[in-house]
Amino acid sequence: MSDDTAALILALATENAELRAALAKAQDLLVETVVDTGELHARVEDLRAEVPRLRGERNTSTPGSIRGRSAVG
């Protein structure tokens, strides 16, 4: 094997290792993003479930109030 061939193989092996490391990092970030997305989705569902209750409370608020605010200053 010539010096040029050995250098090329070494360069390719180095680049391959760097690309594998970058891929692993990207995969880790993707997993973190998926976990965060799942948590946000669960929170949105909780908030959506709470909206009807809050609207009911607003609609049954005390007389003399407008949308949950007191009419008196």
Task: List, for residues 20-64, the tens digit of each pLDDT value.
Answer: 999 999 999 999 999 999 999 999 999 999 999 999 999 998 666
Check whether 71 has a pLDDT greater than 90: no
Residues in the chain: 73
pLDDT of residue 73: 47
The encoded tokens of residue 41 equal 């989705």
